[in-house]
Amino acid sequence: MTAVTALEATGIGKSFRAVRALDDVALSLHYGEVTALLGDNGAGKSTLVKCLAGVYRPDAGTILVNGAKHEIGSPEGARALGIETVHQTLAVIDPLDVVENLFLNREHTRGGRFGSWLGVLDKRRMRAEAAEILGRLDIRLPSLRRPLSALSGGQRQAVAIGRAAAWGQQIVLLDEPAAALGVEQAARVLDLIRALRSAGVAVLLITHNMDRVMAVCDRAVVLRQGRTAAEVDVSSVTKDDLVAYITGARSGGPPT
C-alpha cells in the first residue's frame, strides 16, 4: 500500500448562513488506497466532497494536491488537478449514448483548427478510446451507441464511474455510487472501485453500507456534526466499531 499523499485537506470549514456544515475537518487521500468517508445524515460528507470537487468554496482551510496548495474554485479547476467526482445525481445525460457521455465536454474533433471551430467530432476516435477505457475497467455494456436511458441503473452508474476513471488519473471522489442498486449491480460497482485502486488512483467513497466499507476500503474517516470524529484503518476495526464512531458512542480510534 503506497504512502504517497494525493490530497490533503486541513482545517476545512464551510457555513451556509447560520448553519455550520463543516468545522475544522481534516482528510487525506493516498494513491492506491480507498478511503471511506462515513457519517450520519447531515454529518457534512457531501458538503466536504463538494468543497474538494470545486462545487463549493470552503470558508476556511487548506487543500494540497500532490503537496502543492490549491484553491479549487470550480469543478473545471478540480478536474484540471486530476480530481473527478461521481455525485449521487450521476450528471449523465440520458438521451446521449455511452461514448457521448464519456467524452462530455471533452470531445475530440477532426479537421484541424477549422474543424474544431465548427465542432466536427471525431466519432471513430472517441468510440475506440471509449472501448479501451471500458475494457480496462472491465465494464461490459450491450452497445456503446445505446442511449443512457436504455441502460440499467448499474450500467449508468458504471458509465459515470468509467468517465471519472478515464479523466481522473489521480483522485476519484464517489458519493454513494451503489445507492439504490441491486446486489449484483452494487457488486460490479465495488469491482470498479477495486480496479481504480489497483491502477494507483486515490479513491474517496461515501457510503452508509458497512459491508461495502469492509469489502473495499483501506481507511475510514468519520464525520460527526461537521467535525472529524475518527480516522481508522479498516483492517483494525469491526462494522460495530464504525457504527459506534458514527453514532458518537465511541470517539477517536486506533492510529492509522
> Looking at this protein, which amino acid is placed at residue 127?
R
Residue 234 has pLDDT above 70, yes or no: yes
Q: Does residue 155 have a pLDDT over 80?
A: yes
Report percent pLDDT > 90 for the chain: 52
Instruction: Using the CB atoms, write b or e for 80-91: b if 16+ within 10 Å.
Output: ebbbbbbbeebe
Q: What is the pLDDT of residue 177?
A: 81
Per-residue pLDDT, 59: 96
Residue type, 85: T
Q: Report the topology of domain 5-93+168-247.
A: Rossmann fold (3.40.50)
Higher pLDDT among residues 184 and 20, named by residue: 20
Average model confidence (pLDDT) for the chain? 87
Residue 157 confidence (pLDDT): 79
Cα angle for residues 88, 90, 96 (degrees, 5° grid): 160
Name, in order, each residue with C-beta under 8 angstroms of 151's C-beta and a sequence gap of 6 or more. 98, 141, 142, 159
pLDDT at 196 over 90: no
pLDDT of residue 113: 74
pLDDT over 70 at 192, yes or no:
yes
In whole angstroms, give the CA distance from residue 25 to residue 226: 7
Q: What is the pLDDT of residue 118?
A: 66
Taking every pair of Cα atoms in the chain, the longest distance, rounded to a whole number of angstroms, is 63
Q: How far apart are CA 165 and CA 61, in angstroms?
A: 27
C-beta neighbour count of 235 within 10 angstroms: 9
Of 19 and 188, the structure prediction assigns the larger pLDDT to 19
Q: Which residue has the higher pLDDT, 114 or 246?
A: 246
DSSP state of 235: G
What is the rounded distance in angstroms from the CA atom of residue 134 to the CA atom of residue 165? Answer: 10
Domain ranges in the chain are 5-93+168-247
Per-residue pLDDT tens for 2-53? 458 999 999 999 999 999 999 999 999 999 999 999 999 999 999 999 999 9
Percent of the chain with pLDDT over 70: 92
Alpha carbon distance 146, 73 (integer Å):
34
Q: What is the dihedral of CA 90, 138, 168, 160, to 10 degrees?
A: -10
pLDDT higher than 60, residue 193: yes
Three cell numbers, residue 237: 476495526
The pLDDT value recorded for residue 47 is 95
